[in-house]
Every structure is written in C-alpha cells, then in structure tokens.
Chains A and B, each alone.
Chain A
Amino acid sequence: DGGITQSPKYLFRKEGQNVTLSCEQNLNHDAMYWYRQDPGQGLRLIYYSQIVNDFQKGDIAEGYSVSREKKESFPLTVTSAQKNPTAFYLCASSRGLAGVETQYFGPGTRLLVL
C-alpha cells in the first residue's frame, strides 16, 4: 500500500527547542517537498529535494533545516531560530520536477508551541 507517512500527527515544542518532523514515502518518488500552512493561507514552500543528498531552499527556509540521506526519507527540523513555528506542516512527493508530475501529500503534522 503505497503512500506518504508523516509523524507525529501532533508535536509540541518548548521555547528554544529543536524538533524534527518525519516524512517517509514508498512511492519510489525522486522529489520531496516540505510546505507550511497557516490558517487561511496557501501552502508556502520551505525546502525541496530533487534527488538524494541534494536539496534547495524554498520561499521560507529560515529557521528550518532538512536532510535527504535516503530516497524514501526527508525529515524537517524546526530550529529554535524559527520564532513562529506554530503551523500545519505538509510533506509531499512527486516522481520528478517535470511540469506534468503531480505532487501527493502526506497527512501532515501540526506543530504547537508550549
């Protein structure tokens, strides 16, 4: 049963703490993405990766970091430098970056600040 999994579903962060959001896919997709969604807002791109060991900053990368050591995994770390991290975080993947390639989304992680 192919798909994208994200964990945890809810995550609580204390001030000054780094937290890591997990994203795994078994669709054999090359490209993976992280988006942030705030209430009433569209999706804003944080980072994306086209291939293993390579990733690019999106529109709002400050305060976030990623790694892509395996094709299946693209974890996102929210660092203490991100002052307003409360949001819904969505991981997505696609076969590639070509125009016709479609993004598919995981179920999301909701991050809350204590």
Chain B
Amino acid sequence: QKEVEQNSGPLSVPEGAIASLNCTYSDRGSQSFFWYRQYSGKSPELIMSIYSNGDKEDGRFTAQLNKASQYVSLLIRDSQPSDSATYLCAVKGGGSYIPTFGRGTSLIVHP
C-alpha cells in the first residue's frame, strides 16, 4: 500500500515569510511528484510538478525533491494571504500510473 504523508497543519506564517510544506512517500520507485493547491470548497489546481532530484522554481514557488530520503517539499516565498489554502502532494510511479494523494497541509498566511 503506497502512502503519502503530509502534516495536516495548520501551518501558520506571517505575510512575507517563507512557507515550507513537506511530503514523504513510501514507494521508493516513485517517479513523478505534483503539488496542488485547493481553496476551501474548490477543486485542486496544479502548482508544480517535479521529476528529478533537486530544486525546481516557478515564480514564488520552489519544489524540492530528494528521492534518497523519499521526500518532496514546496517552498512559497513572500507568502501572501491569498496563498491560504490546503496544499496536496501527489506521487506517481513505481508500477502504478495513478497518483496517490496525501491528505494535504492547511496553510494560513496572516497579515
């Protein structure tokens, strides 16, 4: 049974700070990793995908992947109140083409 673990939070950060969201996974064969943002009552929307070890940056967002340690993280720089949402980690691969989702981490950015 593949597992994707996220701290449910809430993670509370002040406006302008860096928010760090973490995700660990159990299947060492996992190959593709995705971060989604979900506002309350809305559907998930893709923020970033990452497939190789290291960092991938897109605007204020940076995804970090460490396959040896089996974790992927999402950094949000200069956090804004509009970033307040639940962030879902999804992991794919290792013989399955269907992603496994974590339960999500709730992020609150306070002014």
> Is the CB–CB distance between B51 and A100 below 8 Å?
yes
A40-B99 contact given A100-B32, A102-B49, A108-B42, CB 8 Å threshold: no
Which residues on B sit within 8 Å (CB–CB) of A41?
103
> Is the CB–CB distance between B8 and A98 below 8 Å?
no
Cα-based distance from A55 to B95 in the complex (angstroms)? 18
Binding site for A on B (CB under 8 A): 4, 8, 31-32, 34, 36, 42-46, 49, 51, 88, 90, 92-93, 97-99, 101-104
Is chain A's interface secondary structure helix, strand, loop, or mixed overall?
loop
Within 8 Å of chain B (Cβ to Cβ): is A99?
yes
Interface residues of A in 69-114 (CB under 8 A from B): 90, 97-100, 102-108
> Is the CB–CB distance between B97 and A97 below 8 Å?
yes
Which residues on A sit within 8 Å (CB–CB) of B45?
105
Which residues on A sit within 8 Å (CB–CB) of B103?
40-42
15 extra interchain contacts, Cβ-Cβ under 8 A, other than A100-B32, A105-B36? A33-B98, A40-B8, A41-B103, A42-B88, A43-B88, A45-B98, A58-B98, A90-B43, A90-B44, A99-B51, A100-B51, A103-B46, A106-B43, A107-B43, A108-B43
Which one of A43, A104, A107, A108 lies within 8 Å of B101 (CB-CB)? A43
